Amino acid sequence: MGMIWYMSKLLDEIREAIRASDKTRYRLSKETSIPQSQLSRLMTGEKGVSLDALERLAEALGLEIIIRPKRWQRKGG
């Protein structure tokens, strides 16, 4: 599983958190300075967002993005 898979999984988690949130896209846009059009494209899967935007969304949704070492790694990769 490469970096693209992890980024895709992270975007899926953010989308789900937005859906579960009581915040409208308008409110998220105001809190994060991310245009509503960009949030709409994120929600439809048309486009992703920058890491900076992901961090701002996570903060607005009360989430934390954590990067930690792998628990194990197979030999040869």
Looking at residue 43, which CATH number applies to its domain? Answer: 1.10.260
- Cα 31 from Cα 60, distance rounded (Å): 7
75: confidence class by pLDDT, cuts 50, 70, 90: low
Mean per-residue pLDDT over the chain, rounded: 88
Of the CA atoms within 13 Å of residue 29, those in its CB half-sphere come to: 12
Domain presence at residue 66: no
- Angle of the 36-44 helix axis to the 25-32 helix axis, nearest 10: 120
Domain presence at residue 20: yes
Domain presence at residue 54: yes
69: confidence class by pLDDT, cuts 50, 70, 90: confident
Would the pLDDT of 74 be above 70? no
